[in-house]
């Protein structure tokens, strides 16, 4: 089943102005499916295939000559030697929209492309399915807890697989393939334990020394392993915003998983009932909201300029979004019923920010969406109606 991706229009637009578009993102996020949908009439080859990779390495010019009108080249990080030949090829040809590349590791892919294909390719980051994409395909799980358990990987929605079975296979394949390629990790058990400890810290301030100590590894090892998780689009760091309003600010970033379903699986949460009572449910809901806000920006072709704000007294706003020179604060609460104290952090920050603050939002784990004293209150099902791109009104369907 082909689920329409919000980024498809962006890819098609970029192909009109660039000879190459590169789709990056985590393994199994739907990059290949999207590339094939956009280039339905062009050849497709995967450089994961040893025979294809050998042909590309042995004779790159002849390999590319097989595709006079372009092609989809899948998992191109497996053959970085191709990039300089692709540059020569598209420069000589002169046409736009010739090649679609996909890749699932930022390390080799970005360094190789920035050296050889600078100015010749646009990048699109494709994360797992968003709330809006699930709703459009009529695949949205019936409850919030079920959605958090499932996450957004397309395979869980087009195959009859439980999250428990699929994530187990996904992590095994990911560890065996990508981690060994990137880090030559010998202690796979220690690495898997590290990933699980990271899941226990999603939505929290990142303390690498504490994380390393808990895992029984060195600080430098933890730093290297975390960079691999980031390069493979499994986790990301949310940086603190610098607006200090004469307050001392926290300087550590917060850690989040790109996919909340994977975080749930790593924490051993396998049922809605288990999740409902779990002490990290609030952090997992926050993880999902953060990933949705990031998808909204990336699918619009914009940088995910998201931050958080916390001062040394513990005053905090979960997300600050830069919009037209001002800051949009977003507070995230997993409770199904809006309580008076849900607004306290936003009100305190707005008083400090003055004219700099705009369009405050409270996203919560319950039902209706409405306005409350100038603050947009958004139920989880309406989060796709919140537009955090820099060019559009903030509230769409969520009004």
3-state secondary structure 86-154: HHHHHHHHCCCCCEEEEECCHHHHHHHHHHHCCCCEEEEECCCCCHHHHHHCCCCCCCHHHHHHHCCCC
Which contiguous run of DSSP H or E holds residue 38? helix 31-38
Domain 8-125 in CATH 3.40.50.300? The answer is yes
Q: Do domains 8-125 and 131-237+254-274 have the same CATH topology?
A: no
Q: Which residues pair with 328 in a beta bridge?
A: 321
Q: For 231-256, give one letter per residue: b (16+ CB within 10 A) or e.
A: bbbbbbebebbebeeeeeebeeebbb
d(CA 20, CA 101): 7
Residue 185: its pLDDT value, please? 63
Q: Is residue 5 pLDDT above 70, yes or no?
A: yes
Report, as an integer, the average pLDDT of 154-162: 91
Q: What are the residue ranges spanned by the domains of the chain?
A: 8-125, 131-237+254-274
Residue 396: its pLDDT value, please? 46
Residue 263: its pLDDT value, please? 98
Under the banding of pLDDT at 50, 70 and 90, the label for residue 24 is: very high
Under the banding of pLDDT at 50, 70 and 90, the label for residue 89 is: very high
Mean pLDDT score of the chain, rounded to an integer? Answer: 91
Query: What confidence tens digit (pLDDT) does each residue in 383-394 have?
Result: 999 877 655 455
Q: For 64-77, give one letter per residue: b (16+ CB within 10 A) or e.
A: beebeebbbbbbbb
Residues in the chain: 399
CA 209 to the chain's CA centroid: 25
Residues 45 and 73 sit within 8 Å (Cβ to Cβ): yes
Q: Is residue 190 pLDDT above 80, yes or no?
A: yes
Residue 303: its pLDDT value, please? 87
Which contiguous run of DSSP H or E holds residue 19? none
Under the banding of pLDDT at 50, 70 and 90, the label for residue 151 is: very high
Residue 397: its pLDDT value, please? 38
DSSP track, 314-364:
S-EEEEEEEETTEEEEEEEE--SS--GGGGHHHHHHHHHHGGGB-S-EEEE
Query: Which residue is listed with tokens 């499932």?
Result: 150
Q: Is residue 395 pLDDT above 70, yes or no?
A: no
Report, as an integer, the average pLDDT of 65-83: 93
Residue 187: its pLDDT value, please? 75
Would residue 237 be called left, alpha or beta, if left means φ above 0 and alpha means ψ between -120 and 50 degrees?
beta
Q: Using CB atoms within 10 A of its CB, is residue 114 exposed (0-12), middle (13-18) or buried (19+)?
A: exposed
Under the banding of pLDDT at 50, 70 and 90, the label for residue 399 is: very low
pTM (two decimals) = 0.93
**When comparing pLDDT for 176 and 211, which is higher?**
211
Residue 81's CB: how many other CB atoms inside 10 A? 12
Q: Using CB atoms within 10 A of its CB, is residue 286 exposed (0-12), middle (13-18) or buried (19+)?
A: buried
Paired tokens of 235? 């986790």
Name the pairing type of β-strands 375-379 and 370-372.
Answer: antiparallel
d(CA 105, CA 308): 26
Nearest residue to 124 via CA among 9, 3, 230: 9
Lowest mean pLDDT among 35-44, 257-266, 319-328: 319-328
Residue 132's CB: how many other CB atoms inside 10 A? 18
Architecture of domain 131-237+254-274: Orthogonal Bundle (1.10)
Residues 15 and 35 sit within 8 Å (Cβ to Cβ): no
**When comparing pLDDT for 116 and 95, which is higher?**
95
Query: What confidence tens digit (pLDDT) does each residue in 345-381 have?
Result: 999 999 999 999 999 999 999 999 999 999 999 999 9
């Amino acid at each position: 089943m082909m689920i329409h991706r919000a980024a498809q229009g962006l890819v098609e637009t970029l192909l009109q102005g660039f000879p190459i578009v590169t789709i990056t993102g985590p393994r199994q996020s739907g990059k290949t499916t999207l590339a094939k949908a956009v280039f339905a009439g062009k050849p497709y080859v995967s450089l994961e295939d040893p025979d294809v990779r050998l042909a590309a390495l042995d004779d790159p010019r002849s390999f590319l000559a097989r595709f006079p009108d372009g092609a989809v080249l899948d998992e191109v990080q497996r053959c970085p030697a191709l990039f300089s030949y692709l540059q020569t090829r598209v420069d000589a040809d002169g046409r736009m929209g010739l090649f679609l590349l996909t890749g699932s590791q930022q390390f080799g892919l970005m360094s190789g492309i920035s050296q050889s294909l600078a100015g010749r390719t646009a990048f699109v980051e494709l994360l797992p399915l968003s709330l809006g994409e699930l709703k459009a395909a009529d695949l949205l799980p019936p409850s919030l807890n079920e959605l958090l358990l499932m996450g957004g990987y397309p395979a869980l929605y087009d195959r009859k697989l439980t999250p428990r079975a699929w994530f187990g296979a996904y992590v095994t394949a990911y560890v065996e393939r990508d981690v060994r390629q990137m880090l030559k990790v010998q202690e796979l058990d220690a690495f898997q334990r590290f990933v699980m400890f990271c899941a226990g810290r999603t939505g929290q301030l990142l303390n690498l020394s504490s994380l390393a100590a808990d895992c029984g590894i060195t600080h430098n090892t933890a730093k290297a392993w975390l960079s691999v998780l980031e390069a493979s689009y499994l986790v990301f760091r949310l940086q603190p915003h610098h607006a200090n309003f004469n307050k001392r600010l926290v300087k550590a970033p917060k850690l989040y998983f790109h996919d909340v379903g994977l975080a749930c699986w790593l924490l051993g949460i396998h049922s809605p009932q288990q999740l409902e009572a779990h002490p990290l449910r609030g952090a997992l809901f926050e993880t999902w909201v953060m990933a949705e806000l990031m998808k909204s920006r990336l699918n619009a072709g914009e940088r995910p300029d998201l931050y958080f704000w916390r001062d040394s007294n513990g005053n905090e706003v979960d997300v600050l979004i830069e919009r037209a020179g001002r800051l949009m604060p977003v507070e995230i609460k997993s409770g199904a019923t809006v309580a008076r104290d849900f607004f306290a952090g936003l009100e305190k920050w707005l008083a400090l920010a003055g004219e700099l603050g705009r369009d405050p939002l409270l996203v919560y784990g319950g039902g209706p969406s409405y306005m409350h004293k100038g603050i947009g209150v958004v139920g989880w099902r309406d989060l796709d109606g919140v537009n955090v791109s820099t060019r559009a009104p903030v509230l769409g369907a969520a009004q």
